Structure 1
């Protein structure tokens, strides 16, 4: 069983949720999504991780790390598990920017029509926020 599936089972126990269908209702998801995650066919998206964190009150970073560890190649799983332990020991989760902001960044060619840009003009590309 992958780390995210173990976590979801713990969530169901903590919240007294007796089925994947009831969990799907609480997360406002189709039941098939939860079933696919629990069967290991898919890993929850960042949006689903945020919904899980909101349901439990757990830090969103914790859930995102568990999902990342679950989808990671075997060779990198120990690194993800170690990252989660470090974050838990620190008592502070500071990876929000990496998981929630960076995916929103788009790389665009430099041109006046792209609005506010930042980045290295030497490369002809900018990060558009």
Structure 2
């Protein structure tokens, strides 16, 4: 099991107490903690999938979306994967998590084609993955 938490100190304490397998956090303090880490890759937030049927607890509309460029996505993916590859002592699983890859209503910025994005994200990621093989 992997615990995701923004407060790395609290997260490390909980991971040790509950015997989770890894911490998922994108901060350098996670690396410094010495705990097992799975690096998350949240490629952005896109509220457009909820615009036709908004949930009552979210009041942001589709106008709050900025599509990252292919280069921005690739730099983000590459730095995250490189971090995983160069810190094998704590990234034992050699795994990254592309956040919300299937939560289309929460994050349209996903690997699954939604709202006109086609294969934009998966194409950007596939080019980066070739660098690591």
TM-score range normalised by the length of the shorter chain: under 0.3
Select the structure of larger CA radius of gyration: 1
TM-score between both structures, scaled by the size of structure 2: 0.24
